[in-house]
Structure 1
Amino acid sequence: MSCAIMQPYLFPYLGYYQLVYSVDNFVLYDDVNFIKRGYINRNNILVNGGAQRFTIPVPGATQNEKINAFEFSGDVRKVLKTIQQSYKKAPYFDEVYHLVEGVLTSKNRSVTHVCKLSIEQVFAYLDIKRMYHISSDLEYNRDATAADKLISISKKLNCTHYVNSPGGVELYQKGYFKERNIDLSFIKMNADEYSQNVDEFVPYLSMIDVLMWNSKEQVKLLLEQYELF
């Protein structure tokens, strides 16, 4: 069994979804400190041929509190209007906009819940099943070092293979994990460019962009374009 652990992000980029796709169990790491100006509550979409940031406010957000302590603002009208105007001519607009709207207007405004929905609903749309967990619901060693927390969570889920985002290459050592009976891999995105109906491809946008321009089968192919190292 394999697992990956990441902070909850709101409709993140394709590489995040590839991380989820690459494992059996995905853990939303919501009992770590909130990151302001990160991707927990914002990302980029395609507007007039370029990347434009959208943000859902998190009232009272501070980096001194855990992610699961906060809720999203309920006012998402401006963001939805921007998405609608930007993608109304995209080939898969109708079904994808409905998905996005459903996530962003969820009655449960918990940051963890809405971000989790933005992952779950995309995979449900693609008919791909994965197991999802929330770290604050798990019993693991919260007093351990950063690496040992990941190992503790992995063992709690009976996983012997842990997959990390590329940013962890400088932080975690394969030998350290192996000594604790966990195989450590890192994931690298190798996805092809796709048609965005613009002159020059704009990479690393929210998954919203990928879904708007690609069929379900095309999205699945993009999800598979990664390597573990």
Structure 2
Amino acid sequence: MSEVDDAIASARSSWARISEDRSVPRADSRARRRTTQAIGKRLTRIAVADGAILVAALVIGMITPLGIMGALLAMMLLVAATVFFAIWPTETAPTPERLAAVDIKALPAQTERWLDAQRPALPAPAVTLVDRIGLRLETLSPQLAAVDNDGEAAQEVRKLIGEQLPAFVKDYERVPPSLRKTARNGRSPDAELVAGLSLIEQEIADMTTRLAQADLDTLSTRGRFLELKYKDDGAD
């Protein structure tokens, strides 16, 4: 094995260790980012709605005096709009049926949104795996930009994260909560869920590697070329 191969292998190993060590902090960062984005969307909707009410009240007031009742009505509308948009969900999670049909390029993000919506029904170990799967999906997403929506690679990705993953989680959620910790055939539903999600996470990682194989090969080839050309020249 050449020095370039050693360097590439070492870099991959180091990156894998770093990714494992930082998976939880990165998941926490993603959760904070989602919360911040949701708050920002709520505030934006409130500002737009309240602004529209104030502009409408101003225009009406220029045509005819609002009076006390008109002013009270405007204030009530402002309060109602603020409360309504403060509690109204910023976005709804896609359904499993929609995931099965969504464009492959948008599938990782849509699947991540769907998984986030399932968190309340999952045990703590599974939630940790959901965070890790979310990180895997973030890595996978840009790779699918160049993938044919009807190609073999796209079908493989869609089958796993658009069909099997949602179906697996839904199977778990249909189990009565009182039975989820009860062992059956040597393993409880909670344990089955964690084991299955772990396999799915690893398969997404493997898909990412397969999709990146051409780029990895190109990098390796170019590295060998540089090594042969410039290392030998330097020796001269």
Superposition TM-score tier, normalisation by shorter sequence = under 0.3
If you compute each CA radius of gyration, which structure gives the higher value, 1 or 2? Answer: 2
For normalisation by structure 2, the TM-score amounts to 0.25
TM value normalised by structure 1 = 0.26
Higher relative contact order (Cα pairs below 8 Å, separated by 6+ residues): 1
Compare the two structures and name the one with the higher helix fraction.
2
